[in-house]
Each structure stands twice: as structure tokens, then as C-alpha cells.
Structure 1
Amino acid sequence: MRLYRFLNAEYGLLAIRERRLRISRINELNDEFEFIGLALKRKADRLELRRVREHVNGHTGIICMSKRWSHPLMWSHYGASYTGIALEFFTFPTRVREVEYVTKRPTLQTFECRSLEDVGEEHLKRLFRMKFDAWQYEEEYRFFLPLENGEEIKRKVHYFLPFSPHLELKSVIVGPRSGVTRAQVAEALGGMAGSVETYRARADFDDFKVVKNMQESMWK
């Protein structure tokens, strides 16, 4: 399947050049309800669920991608206000989990549990890919990855997923407002330049979506 990762121009080019994507820590995600979306009446249960999130944060990371690259809000929110880059990858469906969007926070009854103690591993896996449906425009898929072989960069440990046949770069889409040049993309791609499609995007003339700019001469 094809999935898209949005990045600002600097980190987009760096990801291409280094042939890897940075794995996010769970506590770095931009939704406060991540992994703790279960509606719980007891304060002790809410604190316990947060402790579970902290435990998972210590050993598991996440890479979030979108099913499509044409949504304007994705470019606005994750593509640095249209100045960034979208990277298209091929990956196998078994490697990712599709996000489930819900209108209301699930309860213990939703999971057919009488207490928090009844919440098992399968319930938690579902909770970890569940989001409020206001985020539905993202059409999100998630890689859940072990935090292994960390690399210290600027006094902070980071984790990465290398490009591979399981995460194969297929195209580089430069945002409509981006100053990234064709030469910069080619330099970052290096030996991959012949097998990776590159193009600039633009706002569609008829619809609220972002599309490929067919006028290649407009991208220097």
C-alpha cells in the first residue's frame, strides 16, 4: 500500500539524504487524548491509565502517515503551511495499523469490561489506534515500533526507521509554497534519483485539494 509522510523542508530533505524516518515518542504526539482516551470515572483509574501510557512511551515509538497527500489541512498542519514535503512510501499492510475514528470516548462498557483490571492487551491495542473523529481528515495509519539502537543528537536520544523494501520511497512531493529546488531534491536522493518520482504540487483549480503541477517548467 502507498502512504504519505509530511515533513517540513529541512527534515524532509534530511530524511531523504539519510534514508530514514525519525520515530516519534508517544508523549510527543499532538493530541492530549492519545492512548488515554478511555472515559473513566475514578481518578485512580485515570492515573493508572496514564502510568500505562508512560510505560509504553518508554519502549515503543510511532510513525504516523496518511492514506493520501491531497488534503489541504495535511499540508497546512503537517507540511509547514504548504512549504514542506510529502514523502510517498510503499509498505505492506501488515506493517501498519489503521486509526479508528470515534465520535465519543469509549468507556469500560464499550470494551465489555467491568473495571480497569479487565482491560487487556487487545483492548489497549485498540485504544492506542483510536482518535476523536475531528481528526478523520488525516486518514491516518500508524507504525508501532520498538525503541532500539537510539542515537544521541544534541543531547537527546532519537530513534529511526531506515528505508527498506518494507519502507520504500516512491515519490517526493514538494509543497506549493516550498522553496526547495529540483537540484536539492536530486542531491538528497543521490543514487535513488532514477527510481523515485519527484514533482511540485499546486492548489487545484476546481476543488479544495492539492494536486500535481503538470507544468514542470514552473519548478526550477
Structure 2
Amino acid sequence: MRVYHFVNQEYGLEDIKRRRLKIATLNDLNDPFELGVDSPDPAVRSAFRSLKNKLAQAFGLLCFSRDWKNPVQWSHYADRHRGLCLGFDVPDDVLTPVIYKAQLPKPDMAVLKGLGEPATEHIKQILSTKFRHWRYENEVRCFLKIEDEDEVKAGLYFAPFSDDLRLREVIVGHSSPVSRGNLVEALGDLSSVVSTCKARLAFRSYSVVRQRRDEFWP
């Protein structure tokens, strides 16, 4: 599946040069309801808060969108259209679609007490459920074990580009100062297999589209 990751200019160019993508932990995410559940039992709610902190030490995730044309995402995640959007080919079977709902998910305690694969899948399902107002992100997630990653520096975790994380596109934000030369330098030998373009704001809709006039991207 072709998926997209928004990033600011500095980190985007650095990730391209170093052939890597930063892994987020659960405590890094901007939604405080991650792993939140609908339960009247204080003990259950406390257990899930503890579980969140425990999982944050062992697992991370890569967050992607199925689309790059939403202007709100550029504003929120690509430094107000000054950053980049990186397009990757990622196998469908390692991606988990986010489900958007009006209510918090209810935990199935019988499944969770049984442990094993059913419990793991139930936790993943809860981790992939967000409030419906996040729907504009059109998000899919890739869950990773932190200890399996090649780079660990000062609490930062990175997933290297690979056959399962193959860079295929770079879209430069319409307000970004990144030039063609900057991008070619960062891509190096990837230039021949990665398509690049400058974005612009659509003229007749709330959308971000490809800039087709070369003179506007020197």
C-alpha cells in the first residue's frame, strides 16, 4: 500500500539522508486518549494507564495517512506547509487501519485475562481506535518492537528504510524553501527511484495538489 508520512523540513531531509524514519512511542502521540477505554471500574482504568506506560517502553509505531492532499495534515504535521510528505510502499499485512468512533472502546476483560494472541489483538484493536473527529487523518499504523530497531539514541528510535519501508515519493510543501537541489542531494542514489514534486494549494477546492509548473520550484 502507498502511504504517506508528514514531517517538518529539517527532520524530513535528515530522515531521507539517513534512510530512516522516526518511531513514535505511545507517550509521544498527540492524542491523550490512546489506549483509553470505556469502563466504570477505576481499577480497570488504572490498569490500562499502567499498560500504556509499559507498552511505551517496548513498542512503537509508524503513523501514516492514505492520502497527502488534506491541507489540515500539512498544517498540523508538516510545519504549516513548510515541511515534506514522504510516500512509502509498505506491505498491507503490516499496516493496521485506524477505526474512528464516537465512543471509547469497551475492553473485553475475559479476552485480556486469557493473554496470548487474542489479548494482543484486542489491545491492538483498542490502540487503533480513535475519536471520530480524527477521521481527516485517514490513518494506518505499523506497530514495531523497539528493541528490534537498528538505531537507538538518547531515547529516540528509528526504523531503517527497507523492503517493508520503501521510499517512493517526496512531496515538498507549497511554503517550503526546499529546492530541487536540496532534495536531490538528500536522496543521493535514491533519486532514480523516488518521484518528487512541489505541492500547491488547489484553486477551486480545499485541497493540496501537485505543482506542474517547473518555474515555481527552482
Q: How many residues align?
A: 213
Please give the per-residue CA displacement for 1:15-36, whole angstroms capped at 9, x wherever unaligned: 1000010111110100000012
TM-fit CA distance, 1:115: 9.7
Contact 1:45 1:116 in 2 (8 A): no
Gaps of 5+ in 2: none
Q: 1:6 to 1:63 in 2, by over 3 A?
A: same
TM-score (structure 1 length as normaliser): 0.92
Alignment of 1:14-33 (within 5 A): 14-33=14-33
Tell me if 1:166 matches 2:167. Answer: no
Contact 2:174 2:198 in 1 (8 A): yes
TM-fit CA distance, 1:118: 7.0
Amino acid at match of 2:132: D
Contact 1:16 1:188 in 2 (8 A): yes
Q: Distance in 2 between matches of 1:187 and 1:131?
A: 38
TM-fit CA distance, 1:117: 4.6
TM-fit CA distance, 1:77: 0.5
> How many percent identity over aligned positions?
37
TM-fit CA distance, 1:150: 4.5
What does residue 41 of structure 1 align with? 40
What does residue 184 of structure 2 align with? 186
Tell me if 1:90 matches 2:89. Answer: yes
Amino acid at match of 1:194: S
Of 194, 197, 201, the residue aligned with 1:196 is 194
Contact 1:62 1:143 in 2 (8 A): yes
Amino acid at match of 1:80: D
**Larger helix fraction of residues:** 2
Of 151, 155, 169, the residue aligned with 1:157 is 155
What is the aligned-residue RMSD (CA, Å)? 1.6
Amino acid at match of 2:43: A
TM-score (structure 2 length as normaliser): 0.93
Alignment of 1:101-180 (within 5 A): 101-108=100-107, 111=108, 113=109, 117=113, 120-148=119-147, 149-152=150-153, 156-180=154-178
Which secondary structure does the structure 2 equivalent of 1:75 belong to? Answer: helix
Q: Distance in 2 between matches of 1:125 and 1:65?
A: 16
Contact 1:6 1:87 in 2 (8 A): yes
Which secondary structure does the structure 1 equivalent of 2:192 belong to? Answer: coil
Q: Distance in 1 between matches of 2:38 and 2:19?
A: 40
Of 176, 187, 205, the residue aligned with 1:207 is 205
Spell out structure 1 runs of 4+ moving beyond 6 A. Answer: none
Q: Distance in 1 between matches of 2:79 and 2:44?
A: 38
Amino acid at match of 1:177: S
Amino acid at match of 2:134: W
Which secondary structure does the structure 1 equivalent of 2:69 belong to? Answer: coil
Of 208, 216, 220, the residue aligned with 2:214 is 216
TM-fit CA distance, 1:107: 2.5
What does residue 62 of structure 1 align with? 61
Which secondary structure does the structure 1 equivalent of 2:34 belong to? Answer: coil
Q: Distance in 2 between matches of 1:205 and 1:190?
A: 34
Q: Distance in 1 between matches of 2:111 and 2:97?
A: 27
Gaps of 5+ in 1: none
Q: Distance in 2 between matches of 1:93 and 1:146?
A: 18
Contact 2:151 2:159 in 1 (8 A): no
